[in-house]
C-alpha cells in the first residue's frame, strides 16, 4: 500500500513538472516572438517564431537593414568588417550556424507561409502617411527607396553574399529596397531564413520555384514579412491609404543588365489561397477572368485604378504580405503592379 501511494505521488509530481515545463516554453516563445512582430492588442500570434534552441541571426534587424544598404552600394563600406554574408546558402553551408534546409513548411503553398509567420504594423496603413523618418531603411533625412538602373546593382558582389539572389526590388515611397531570392530546392526556405543563411527574421523577399527568375511569367508573386521593425513588406500597408496609393505607384525590379518598371494598379485584401496553385495564369482566359475579378472588387478598403487597363497579355507582379488582426489571420494584403517599361 505504501509503495502504491508513493508511486502515485511520483506520477503526480511528474505530471505537474511536465505541465510547468510546457508553460515555461510557451511563455518564453511568446516573449521572443513579441520582440519580432508588431501585434495589435487584439491580434493573434501568427506562429512561426524561432524555435527555442535554434541558432539565431548574428545581426540584429537594424544591422540587417544597414547591411542591405551596403549591398546596394558596396562603396559605403557599411559593416565591411563582418563575414556574415559569406555563407553559400544554395549549398546549404553557413558560417553562422543557421539551421539550413530547415524549411519551415509553408502551409497552403506559401503566401508568406499562408500567413502563419507574420505579425505586422497595421497602423501604418491606417495613417496613410508617406513619411519615413525613423524607418530603419530610410536615410538620415528620411529618404525612401530610390530608383537605380540594373547596371548599377552589383550582382557579382551580391552573389558572393548569396548565390540565390537574382533580382532587386525597390518600391519608392516606402523603405522596401531589398534583394529578391529564390531557393533552388526549398520554396519556404526564405520564409524564415536570412540572406546570410541564418535561421530567423527579418528573413527575405523571395519568390517560389513556380515562378521563373526573369519575370516573364504572366504573374510573379513576391512574398515578404511585416515586422515590428517596419521592414521587408510592412510598408505595403501604406497602399491601403487612397492618398498614398494615388501618389506612389512605381515599382522597380532590377535584374543583371535589365530594369523592369511597373505601375501599381491594385491594393486589396484577399484570402490566403496560393495564387500560383489556384490560377493558371498562362491560360489567357483564366488570367483575364482573374483580372476582371480584381476590377470587380467593391470593398471600400480596396484601392483599384479602374482607369488603367491591364489585360491577359500583360505581365504583372503580386506583392503579398499578411494582416495584423486576429480576425484577418486568414487574409492577405496584395499589391499588384503591371509592367510598363523594360530597359
Cell numbers placing 166: 537574382
Give the burial class of 312: count Cβ atoms within 10 A of its Cβ; 0-12 exposed, 13-18 middle, 19 or more buried. Answer: middle
Residue 342 in this model has a pLDDT that exceeds 90: yes
Strands 316-322 and 219-223: parallel
Higher pLDDT, 2 or 219: 219
The most confident of 76-80, 101-105, 265-269, by mean pLDDT: 265-269
Q: According to the model, what pLDDT value does residue 276 have? A: 95
Q: According to the model, what pLDDT value does residue 229 have? A: 66
Q: According to the model, what pLDDT value does residue 8 have? A: 57
Q: According to the model, what pLDDT value does residue 110 have? A: 38
| pTM of this structure | 0.68
- Write the pLDDT tens digit of every residue in 235-278: 899 999 999 999 999 999 999 999 999 999 999 999 888 999 99
User: Considering the chain, what is the average pLDDT of its residues?
Assistant: 72
The most confident of 64-78, 102-116, 197-211, by mean pLDDT: 197-211
CATH topology assigned to domain 61-342: Sortase; Chain: A; (2.40.260)
DSSP codes joined into one string, 33-68: HHTT----TT----S-PPPTT----SS-HHHHHHHH
The most confident of 15-19, 48-52, 291-295, by mean pLDDT: 291-295
Instruction: Assign 3-state DSSP to the chain and report helix, strand, coil percentages, each to 5.
Output: 30, 20, 50
Alpha-carbon gap, residue 138 to 141, rounded angstroms? 8
Q: According to the model, what pLDDT value does residue 103 have? A: 32
Residue 95 in this model has a pLDDT that exceeds 60: no
Higher pLDDT, 70 or 22: 70
- Write the pLDDT tens digit of every residue in 133-170: 334 344 433 345 555 555 588 999 999 999 999 999 99
Q: Which uninterrupted H or E stretch holds 167? A: strand 165-170
DSSP codes joined into one string, 94-155: -TT---TT-----GGG-STTTTTT----THHHHH-----TT-TTS-TT--------GGGS-H
Amino acid at each position: 500500500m505504501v509503495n502504491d501511494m508513493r508511486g502515485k505521488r511520483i506520477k503526480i509530481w511528474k505530471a505537474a513538472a511536465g505541465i510547468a515545463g510546457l508553460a515555461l516554453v510557451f511563455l518564453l516563445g511568446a516573449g521572443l516572438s513579441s520582440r519580432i512582430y508588431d501585434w495589435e492588442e487584439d491580434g493573434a500570434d501568427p506562429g512561426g517564431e524561432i524555435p527555442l534552441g535554434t541558432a539565431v541571426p548574428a545581426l540584429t534587424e537594424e544591422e540587417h537593414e544597414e547591411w542591405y544598404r551596403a549591398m546596394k552600394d558596396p562603396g559605403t563600406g557599411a559593416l565591411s568588417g563582418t563575414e556574415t554574408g559569406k555563407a553559400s546558402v544554395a549549398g546549404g553551408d553557413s558560417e553562422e550556424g543557421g539551421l539550413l534546409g530547415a524549411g519551415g513548411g509553408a502551409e497552403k503553398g506559401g503566401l508568406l507561409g499562408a500567413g502563419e509567420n507574420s505579425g505586422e504594423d497595421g497602423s501604418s496603413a491606417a495613417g496613410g502617411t508617406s513619411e519615413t523618418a525613423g524607418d530603419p531603411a530610410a536615410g538620415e533625412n528620411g529618404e525612401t527607396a530610390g530608383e537605380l538602373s540594373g547596371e548599377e546593382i552589383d550582382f557579382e558582389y551580391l552573389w558572393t553574399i548569396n548565390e540565390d539572389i537574382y533580382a532587386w526590388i525597390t518600391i519608392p515611397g516606402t523603405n522596401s529596397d531589398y534583394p529578391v531570392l529564390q531557393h533552388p530546392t526549398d520554396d519556404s526556405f526564405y520564409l524564415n531564413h536570412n540572406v546570410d543563411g541564418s535561421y530567423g527574421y527579418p528573413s527575405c523577399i523571395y519568390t517560389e520555384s513556380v515562378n521563373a527568375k526573369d519575370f516573364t511569367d504572366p504573374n510573379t508573386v513576391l512574398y515578404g514579412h511585416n515586422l515590428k521593425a517596419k521592414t521587408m513588406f510592412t510598408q505595403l500597408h501604406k497602399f491601403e491609404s487612397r492618398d498614398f496609393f494615388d501618389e506612389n505607384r512605381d515599382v522597380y525590379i532590377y535584374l543583371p543588365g535589365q530594369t523592369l518598371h511597373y505601375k501599381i494598379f491594385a491594393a486589396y485584401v484577399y484570402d490566403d489561397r496560393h495564387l500560383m496553385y489556384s490560377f493558371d495564369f498562362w491560360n489567357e482566359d483564366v488570367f483575364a477572368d482573374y483580372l476582371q475579378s480584381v476590377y470587380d472588387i467593391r470593398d471600400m478598403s480596396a484601392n483599384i485604378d479602374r482607369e488603367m487597363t491591364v489585360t491577359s497579355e500583360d505581365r504583372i507582379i503580386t506583392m503579398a504580405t499578411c494582416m495584423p488582426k486576429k480576425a484577418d489571420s486568414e487574409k492577405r494584403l496584395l499589391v499588384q503592379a503591371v509592367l510598363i517599361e523594360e530597359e
